[in-house]
């Protein structure tokens, strides 16, 4: 497996990516942006609601992957979950899109070596997590079936997605480990 994130002697966070890896991450960032961006329905919403970022509707997304990225805050209280979603979902969607956009921008301005600022690292962590969750949901990955999915024939599209999921997991783990090393 290629190197993940590393720390330079000067303390900068870097990752080296070949063209295929960079293009894959760039494509995933574009897909996450399109996937999580709020649907404004031509902004026919209440102007005050637009100003403060409140949504009129507060339903759990029908798409299982999007529902995984935007879960209910209260499992046992539908009214509280609906209210919470109404007041926070737009902001959460915008934050997830901003994380993906920051990753795409870092990839656009970089060559083989991508150097992250301290401010970009949380965006990369958020993006990697969101992409992993969406892919894992799409391939119906659970704690119990990873090994089973790993034995899928190469022609099964889930096999390739599992490889991407595992790679994103590895990248996320290397970035988290750098932060844990900083704490010790």
Looking at residue 44, its pLDDT comes to 57
The per-residue DSSP string of 1-48 comes to -----EE-TTS-EEEE--HHHHHHHHHHHHHHHHHHS---GGG-S-HH
* 62 domain residue, yes or no: yes
Q: Please state the domain count of the chain.
A: 1
**Any domain includes 152:** yes
Can you list the residues of the chain whose pLDDT is less than 70?
Answer: 1-2, 40-57
Q: Look at strands 6-7 and 13-16 and give their pairing.
A: antiparallel
Q: How confident is the model over 85-94, as pLDDT tens digits?
A: 888 898 899 9
Predicted pLDDT at 32: 98
* 1 in any annotated domain: no
What pLDDT shows up at residue 125? 98
pLDDT the model gives residue 60: 87
What percentage of the chain carries pLDDT values higher than 70? 89
Domain enclosing residue 50, as ranges? 6-183
């Amino acid at each position: 497996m290629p190197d993940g994130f590393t720390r330079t002697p000067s303390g900068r966070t870097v990752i080296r990516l070949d063209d295929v890896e960079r293009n894959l991450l760039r494509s995933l960032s574009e897909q996450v942006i399109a996937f999580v961006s709020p649907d404004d329905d031509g902004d026919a919403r209440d102007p005050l609601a637009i100003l403060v970022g409140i949504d009129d509707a507060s339903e759990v997304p029908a798409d299982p992957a999007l529902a995984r990225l935007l879960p209910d805050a209260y499992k046992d209280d539908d009214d509280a979950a609906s209210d919470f979603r109404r007041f926070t979902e737009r902001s959460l969607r915008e934050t997830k899109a901003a994380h993906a956009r920051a990753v795409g921008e870092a990839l656009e301005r970089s060559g083989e070596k991508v150097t992250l600022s301290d401010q970009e690292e949380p965006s990369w962590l958020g993006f990697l997590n969101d992409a992993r969750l969406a892919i894992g949901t799409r391939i119906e990955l659970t704690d119990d079936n990873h090994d089973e999915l790993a034995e899928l024939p190469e022609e099964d599209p889930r096999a390739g997605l599992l490889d991407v999921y595992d790679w994103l997991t590895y990248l996320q783990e290397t970035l988290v480990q750098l932060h844990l090393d900083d704490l010790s």
